[in-house]
Amino acid sequence: MKRKNILITGGAGYIGSHTVIELYNSGYRPIIVDNFSNSSIKNIEGVEQIIKDKVAFYKFDCTDINQMNQLFKLENNIEAVIHFAAFKAVEESVREPKKYYDNNIGSLNIILSMMKKYELYNIVFSSSACVYGIPEILPVSELAPFKKAESPYGETKQLCEKLIDGADINSISLRYFNPVGSHETCLIGDCSADKPNNLVPIICEVASGKRDSMQIFGNDYNTIDGTCVRDYIHVVDLAKAHVAALNHILNKKEIKTAYNIGVGKGVSVQEVVASFEKINDIKISYNIGPRRDGDVEEIYSNNTKINTELNWFPVMSFESALKTAWTWERNK
């Protein structure tokens, strides 16, 4: 049976590359577009090693309308778009908000204009739990209102969801919590061009000696041990959620909805450090610093909606996420 063409923007990135594998294994033909601004050809090479096949790839910039127009002409039978391409560092977005507004919102606007021009009506959007701001009720469900975003990054995700809601297309926004880990082969992973801003990659850099130590931003929050609490979802589970969303959207005549993608359990920063030390038998040097702008105190997911409607459940363990993250760091 002929594979359906699915355009994956940012497909050479961390989550995108894992999703490409799951799409291929589910019978789709993923088409990657990525300009490597915050990713690497290494992930595409790793994907091809894992699937034992070549993938369609275009080194184009999603904010360049001419390049995107060329892509849609070359690949004129696309069934859906999964839109990952975006900058994603909360702390950097506080320092450089314009960079985030221009790229994250600009790229989506061009994708939506191409979809309209070429009569494509299905999009799965890479959103974030940041859209909830500081939630009033935990665990947070999709019924929670958008509160004031704690960072420009979070605000771009709110605005992107609103743009998609206003477009005449079918859409599913996936609100990620905190992706961690790597594919079991550890041939793909987080290839961010910049220094990592997320907790587990930073821990891995300390473990590998790339950093002498790490800083925990604040230990005076109203949480189990005073450090921020997050919901850590294995990246392979997250990738499979995209396949579930894609299957769903392609089988519906009309749909506009959003799903949380998390485990449903909060883990503090200090608990993550302690778990990494225990699982990988290595000591992590850290110090306590002041709170960081843009950080939410505590957030974790209510997954009931996606469990019920898409029959998706996380199955990968936190331990395997920390093991594969460390193996990826050593091998990359």
Which residues are catalytically annotated? 153
**Any residues with CB less than 8 A from the CB of 95 and at least 6 apart, and which?**
none
Looking only at the bridges linking them, the beta strands covering 29-33 and 5-9 are parallel
Looking only at the bridges linking them, the beta strands covering 256-261 and 170-176 are parallel
Contact 142/173 with Cβ under 8 angstroms?
no
**What is the CB neighbour count within 10 angstroms for residue 279?**
17
Question: What does the alpha-carbon distance between residue 88 and residue 72 come to, in Å, rounded to a whole number?
Answer: 25
If you write DSSP's letter for every residue of 114-182 in order, what string do you get? HHHHTT--EEEEEEEGGGG-S-SSSSB-TTSPP---SSHHHHHHHHHHHHHHHSSSEEEEEEE-EEE--
Question: Which strand (E) or helix (H) includes residue 242?
Answer: helix 235-250
Question: What does the alpha-carbon distance between residue 155 and residue 13 come to, in Å, rounded to a whole number?
Answer: 21
Side-chain-side CA neighbours of 256 within 13 Å: the count stands at: 10
